[in-house]
A and B are shown apart, each in its own frame.
Chain A
């Protein structure tokens, strides 16, 4: 595939009468955003705030962040297959993006009437909070301008409808912002040609992405999807350019859609394609198989596809821990056993003051690991002047917060794909 990715940098976002991009300044129209969000009648309440790097601001209830992108040439639409969008294959032609800006979806699941649904992982916020300044300004959100949409859905919606209402409203806003650069010439263009480059080491990236089918059911839209498909399924092969066009929509758990479209592992490999390596593509392994036998079978299928692609090396990631980590390690083992040099890129566990090992599980085949740290931020988070993501934030939310040590399910920034420079070393 051949994709020209045109970037329109955004240095400032302001409110104005029309939604336009000009010379790095994105102007957004409040009324236009409001009419888009309220268009289907499923969102009852909205706050729009612009949150910039360095602001004394804290975003809470963040469920996803989206980079505004648009297909200008080539088949399909950006973010294909979700919420009724066409499933036509993407990844070729010309795509425009606004770089340095995210549309952020914030909503409080306590609005849900079902107590059970309030605890569903794909409905919960992905971060408890994100700070734009101070020691907490280490997440990808802290280095972009955030158009933060705080929303409340029409009361009484069941969990899945609530999710669809919020996500589709966010996408409508992102689409509208992306439309501003449809007919403009991008200041920066990066070309990705995925045709094979014989003679260079052949490599793949492998992303373990949990499926929530086990409790949401086969037809649910909840959880991470590929072309809208959330099911627990056999390994998927995607072109890196398909991810750049939003083929993986990452909602819930510890990811975000923007992390998948602008994925550090994909970009690293795609940029080295034809230079240092021959990048065969992205393999996505859905996890949450039930039995050990199923997990082993799935790992073998993964390794078989990687070897059929001729892969000599792989970078493998994992998006949730627990039993999914068993599947992750089985994947490393299966790949290594058939000769694929597999680097596990992963956050690690709390060492419990030297009492616990850094990985939940390991195996003799796990010989090359890159650690992105425990997700902790030990320094305290200072008080902030502004809180976004809730309509009436509790006064306690503004106050300083103690540092987060970083351990299972208690991290500040769980860096799945190695976007940051933090890590852990032995002492």
Chain B
């Protein structure tokens, strides 16, 4: 028999044997040895593997997160486990979140961690990138099989095993993609996948429908007559000569330029440096193609809007990584908010 895997386990108040919802405010505590379903884990890993169990109420872990984590960290220091196991939490949202908090904290201490829960559990949805999670269904009757799989992962993590692809290892994709070399070419794999679909044979897509961050549309503006508007464009519009040297693609910066007192844009003073669409019309006829200044001034004159912010914000929306776009957008939004702007017209390109 090889050396035992030293495990610290996390359970909520229910699985920890303290009580149901009425005990959800139970502060975090530590009990020696395995508790409740932890005994299944202990048996799977060899009796005595689960050194101790951290138990915490579902409300407490969410509302008093920092204090709950202090208990965890003291337990980690005391028991020095090889691996931290949390749950399974199935589809219980606060429990899942608790497992996620605990796992992330353990990992930050250098202790590998694994949990098990339903793919739609808030814990997964919130901490996907930082969390190793084995998928479960919603039924507690799956406990034995979930524990058996957790035991396998606990052993792997404790031995320093470098995890392979999510699909092969059986954990939920964390949003990372890694380059691999397959046995067959892309064209061969595509043909086989197509034939499998036609013939009703099983197939596995190499890109699962990913999690896109949805941005809910803003609510309609009430009282636009008193709302200050701002113009924002990704059309690469810059003063003629491009003084800030904005780029035609892969922009990492935005610039703001004054439109105070201007009612229209002329091609002798403005140009677009965007390299991803035809700028001929814009640069020879009408720069308002990406910044509709005349119409917004008309709205202003007619009192339909409560003014125009004296600066417009401009970047080149062409091959911009998501993270860079987010950083720029947050910065622009912050500036607009500070200037009392209530609505922005964003011209996308």
Report whether A427 and B203 are in contact in the complex, using a CB–CB cutoff of 8 Å.
Answer: no
- One digit per residue, 1 when the CB lies within 8 angstroms of any chain B CB and 0 when it does not, for chain A 343-380 equals 10100101111111111001010111111111010100
Nearest to B200 among chain A residues (CB) is: A341
Report whether A343 and B193 are in contact in the complex, using a CB–CB cutoff of 8 Å.
Answer: yes
Report whether A313 and B177 are in contact in the complex, using a CB–CB cutoff of 8 Å.
Answer: no
Residues of chain A from 277 to 330 with CB closer than 8 A to chain B in the complex: 277, 312-315, 321-322
Give complex CA distance A264, B191 in Å: 10
- One digit per residue, 1 when the CB lies within 8 angstroms of any chain A CB and 0 when it does not, for chain B 164-193 equals 011100000111111111111111111101
Counting CB contacts under 8 A, is A51 at the interface?
no
Given A264-B186, A313-B195, A423-B182, do A214 and B278 touch, yes or no (CB 8 Å)? yes
Give complex CA distance A359, B174 in Å: 16
Give every chain B residue within 8 A of A322 (Cβ-Cβ): 276, 318-319
Counting CB contacts under 8 A, is A219 at the interface?
no
Counting CB contacts under 8 A, is A276 at the interface?
yes
Report whether B198 and A312 are in contact in the complex, using a CB–CB cutoff of 8 Å.
Answer: yes
Report whether B177 and A418 are in contact in the complex, using a CB–CB cutoff of 8 Å.
Answer: no
Q: Tell which of B179, B184, B185 touches A374, judged by Cβ atoms closer than 8 Å.
A: B179
Give every chain A residue within 8 A of B207 (Cβ-Cβ): 348, 358-359, 362, 366, 369, 371
Give every chain B residue within 8 A of A315 (Cβ-Cβ): 187, 190-191, 194
Q: Tell which of A352, A373, A409 touches B179, judged by Cβ atoms closer than 8 Å.
A: A373
Counting CB contacts under 8 A, is A238 at the interface?
no
Report whether B323 and A356 are in contact in the complex, using a CB–CB cutoff of 8 Å.
Answer: yes
Distance in angstroms from A300 CB to nearest chain B CB is: 21
Report whether A355 and B179 are in contact in the complex, using a CB–CB cutoff of 8 Å.
Answer: no
Give complex CA distance A101, B94 in Å: 63
Report whether A353 and B188 are in contact in the complex, using a CB–CB cutoff of 8 Å.
Answer: no
Give complex CA distance A322, B173 in Å: 26
Distance in angstroms from B206 CB to nearest chain A CB is: 4
Report whether A408 and B319 are in contact in the complex, using a CB–CB cutoff of 8 Å.
Answer: yes
B interface secondary structure, majority: loop
Counting CB contacts under 8 A, is B321 at the interface?
yes
Counting CB contacts under 8 A, is B239 at the interface?
no
Counting CB contacts under 8 A, is B37 at the interface?
no
Give complex CA distance A419, B174 in Å: 28
Nearest to A405 among chain B residues (CB) is: B179
Residues of chain B from 194 to 213 with CB closer than 8 A to chain A in the complex: 194-195, 197-199, 203, 205-212
Residues of chain B from 216 to 243 with CB closer than 8 A to chain A in the complex: none
Q: Tell which of B129, B163, B193, B321 touches A354, judged by Cβ atoms closer than 8 Å.
A: B129
Residues of chain A from 372 to 398 with CB closer than 8 A to chain B in the complex: 372-374, 376, 378
Considering residues B175, B191, B198, B323, which has the most beta carbons from chain A within 10 angstroms of its beta carbon?
B191
Number of residues from A at the complex interface, CB < 8 A = 64
Report whether A351 and B205 are in contact in the complex, using a CB–CB cutoff of 8 Å.
Answer: no
Give every chain B residue within 8 A of A418 (Cβ-Cβ): 185-190
Give complex CA distance A424, B180 in Å: 6
Q: Tell which of A345, A351, A378 touches B175, judged by Cβ atoms closer than 8 Å.
A: A351
Report whether A119 and B275 are in contact in the complex, using a CB–CB cutoff of 8 Å.
Answer: yes
Counting CB contacts under 8 A, is A165 at the interface?
no
Counting CB contacts under 8 A, is A23 at the interface?
no
Give complex CA distance A1, B209 in Å: 39
Q: Tell which of B180, B197, B275 touches A313, judged by Cβ atoms closer than 8 Å.
A: B197
Segment of A105-113, A222-230, A265-273 engaged in the interface with chain B: A265-273
Give every chain B residue within 8 A of A425 (Cβ-Cβ): 165-167, 177-178, 180, 206
Counting CB contacts under 8 A, is A186 at the interface?
no
Counting CB contacts under 8 A, is A190 at the interface?
no
Distance in angstroms from A251 CB to nearest chain B CB is: 19
Counting CB contacts under 8 A, is B250 at the interface?
yes
Give every chain B residue within 8 A of A406 (Cβ-Cβ): 179
Q: Tell which of A201, A265, A426 touches B187, judged by Cβ atoms closer than 8 Å.
A: A265
Give every chain B residue within 8 A of A355 (Cβ-Cβ): 129, 175, 322-323
Q: On chain B, which size bracket covers the interface?
A: 35 or more
Distance in angstroms from B290 CB to nearest chain A CB is: 14
Report whether B187 and A345 are in contact in the complex, using a CB–CB cutoff of 8 Å.
Answer: yes
Nearest to B349 among chain A residues (CB) is: A323
Counting CB contacts under 8 A, is A417 at the interface?
yes
Give complex CA distance A328, B336 in Å: 36
Give every chain A residue within 8 A of B128 (Cβ-Cβ): 354
Report whether B195 and A277 are in contact in the complex, using a CB–CB cutoff of 8 Å.
Answer: yes
Report whether A427 and B166 are in contact in the complex, using a CB–CB cutoff of 8 Å.
Answer: yes
Give every chain A residue within 8 A of B197 (Cβ-Cβ): 313, 341, 343, 368
- One digit per residue, 1 when the CB lies within 8 angstroms of any chain A CB and 0 when it does not, for chain B 235-271 equals 0000000000000111000000000000000000000
Give complex CA distance A342, B175 in Å: 24
Distance in angstroms from B268 CB to nearest chain A CB is: 18
Counting CB contacts under 8 A, is A422 at the interface?
yes
Q: Tell which of A264, A357, A362, A427 touches B178, judged by Cβ atoms closer than 8 Å.
A: A427
Report whether A427 and B177 are in contact in the complex, using a CB–CB cutoff of 8 Å.
Answer: yes
Distance in angstroms from A278 CB to nearest chain B CB is: 11
Give complex CA distance A201, B192 in Å: 12
- One digit per residue, 1 when the CB lies within 8 angstroms of any chain A CB and 0 when it does not, for chain B 94-130 equals 0000000000000000000000000000000000110
Report whether A366 and B176 are in contact in the complex, using a CB–CB cutoff of 8 Å.
Answer: no
Give complex CA distance A57, B101 in Å: 52
Distance in angstroms from B178 CB to nearest chain A CB is: 5
- One digit per residue, 1 when the CB lies within 8 angstroms of any chain B CB and 0 when it does not, for chain A 171-212 equals 000000000000000000000000000000101000000000
Report whether B249 and A354 are in contact in the complex, using a CB–CB cutoff of 8 Å.
Answer: no
Report whether B276 and A341 are in contact in the complex, using a CB–CB cutoff of 8 Å.
Answer: no
Give complex CA distance A368, B182 in Å: 17
Counting CB contacts under 8 A, is B159 at the interface?
no
Counting CB contacts under 8 A, is B331 at the interface?
no
Counting CB contacts under 8 A, is A415 at the interface?
yes
Give every chain B residue within 8 A of A345 (Cβ-Cβ): 186-187, 190
Report whether A426 and B165 are in contact in the complex, using a CB–CB cutoff of 8 Å.
Answer: yes
Report whether A374 and B194 are in contact in the complex, using a CB–CB cutoff of 8 Å.
Answer: no
Q: Tell which of A359, A370, A421, A422 touches B193, judged by Cβ atoms closer than 8 Å.
A: A370
Give complex CA distance A321, B249 in Å: 13
Distance in angstroms from B134 CB to nearest chain A CB is: 14
Question: Which 10 pairs of residues, A with B, have the shortest CB-CB distance?
Answer: A418-B186, A426-B173, A264-B187, A418-B187, A341-B197, A354-B175, A369-B207, A357-B210, A356-B322, A425-B165
Q: List 26 A-B contacts (CB under 8 A).
A: A119-B248, A215-B280, A268-B187, A312-B198, A315-B187, A322-B319, A345-B187, A345-B190, A348-B207, A355-B322, A359-B210, A367-B209, A368-B194, A369-B205, A370-B190, A370-B206, A420-B186, A421-B182, A424-B177, A425-B166, A425-B177, A425-B206, A426-B174, A426-B175, A426-B176, A427-B176
- New A-B contacts (17) at CB < 8 Å, excluding given A354-B175, A422-B186: A201-B198, A313-B197, A341-B197, A343-B190, A352-B322, A352-B323, A356-B322, A358-B177, A362-B210, A371-B206, A406-B179, A409-B249, A419-B186, A423-B189, A425-B167, A425-B206, A426-B174
Residues of A at the B interface (CB closer than 8 Å) are 119, 201, 203, 214-215, 264-265, 267-269, 272, 276-277, 312-315, 321-322, 341-343, 345, 348, 350-359, 362, 364, 366-374, 376, 378, 406-410, 415, 417-427
